[in-house]
Amino acid sequence: MKITTWNVNSLKVRLPHVLTWLEANPVDALCLQELKLTDDKFPVAEIAAAGYRSFFIGQKTYNGVAILVRDGLEIDEVDLIRNIPGFDDHQQRLIAVTIAGVRVISAYFPNGQAPGTEKFAYKLSWLNALHDWVAAEMQRYPQLALTGDFNIAPDDRDVHDPAKWEGQNLVSPEERAAFFKLIDLGLVDSFRRFEQAERSFSWWDYRMFAFRRNAGVRIDHVLLSPALAEKCVGCAIDKTPRAWEQPSDHAPVTADIALTVPVDRTDAALTPL
């Protein structure tokens, strides 16, 4: 089972990239963030034509998350969750669906702007609510993947210039503490389970030729519960779509889990090559 997270920075603009990428990378679940569109504008038909079912929660201009699920995979519709239960939030930042018994969460963590700001306080309270909800979810679903744009670079290795970034948004001690509080639940950063190239990042600023200089940060993550982590055989950042024309500023991150997911053959479209 392959699970990918990708902040697309407007699904309207990036739909061609998503479809092209999916054709080359037919993952089981594609978690998207920053849709920046209302639900009535979600491209359900185009994504269905590509062989995927869409689960989403959007809003105008900002935020919005989705999970695209490959046709034929078994989904529990009953426990579809939109946003963090009990956390009063008008920003659409989280969706969860259970795919063949695997709880998959697509989350767009608040950016936070800068430590000390109101947005930063919102980020920390959102992180706190997420923690408590995920803790409960892990009891219900031993196989759980928390994916998304975390807007947190957990380690200095995840920052192109740690000295320059020290104490700033995305790397502050408070944000990193919240990240490791999630890790303390037993979640595993799948990317770090494997040997990776130095200076591996998932986001590069549009400005100052940041991608060309590889001046990035690793803020997009796939965290896995112990039951999934022990079956995880790889995790990789795909930089190729970041080099396409009019790209998202984020790259997709894919975890490969050695799990055979039951496929409903009557439903699965066997598309000719």
Partner DNA sequence: ATGGCTTGCACCGCAAGA
Catalytic residues: 108, 149
Cα 79 to Cα 76: distance, rounded to the nearest angstrom: 6
Contact pick of 20, 23, 48, 60 for DNA (by CB under 7 A): 60
Q: Are 199 and 118 within 8 A, CB to CB? A: no
CB of 88 to DNA, least distance (A): 18
Nearer to DNA, 113 or 271 (CB): 113
Name which of 66 and 217 has its Cβ closer to DNA.
217
In terms of C-beta density within 10 A (0-12 exposed, 13-18 middle, 19 or more buried), how is residue 186 classed? middle
Minimum distance from residue 251 beta carbon to DNA (Å):
12
Q: Assess 107 for contact with DNA (CB under 7 A).
A: no
| Cα-based angle 75, 45, 16 (whole degrees, multiple of 5) | 105
Residue 221 makes contact with DNA by CB under 7 A: no
Judged by CB under 7 A, which stretch of 30-38, 75-83, 180-188, 222-230 contacts DNA? 30-38
Cα dihedral 17, 20, 21, 27 sign: positive
Dist. CA 33–CA 77, nearest whole Å? 21
**Shortest CB 1 distance to DNA, Å:** 26
Q: Which residue has the tokens 């939030």?
A: 89
Piece of 105-113, 185-193, 224-232, 235-243 that binds DNA (CB under 7 A): 105-113
> Which part of the chain contacts DNA (CB under 7 A), choosing from 9-17, 139-147, 190-198, 264-272?
9-17
Query: Which burial class, exposed, middle or buried, applies to 260 when counting CB atoms under 10 A from its CB (0-12, 13-18, 19+)?
Result: exposed
**CB 129, min distance to DNA, A:** 17
Write each residue from 144 to 183 as x if it is in contact with DNA (CB under 7 A), else as -, in one continuous string: -----x-x-----------------xx-------------
Question: By CB under 7 A, is residue 92 in contact with DNA?
Answer: no
CA distance 30 to 28: 7
Q: How far apart are CA 170 and CA 153, in angstroms?
A: 6
Amino acid at 231: K
Q: Which residue from 28, 101, 13 is spatially nearest to 255, judged by alpha carbons?
A: 28
Q: Which residues bind DNA (CB under 7 A)?
A: 7, 9-10, 12-13, 34, 36-37, 60-62, 110-111, 113-114, 119, 149, 151, 169-170, 203, 205-208, 217, 219, 246, 249-250
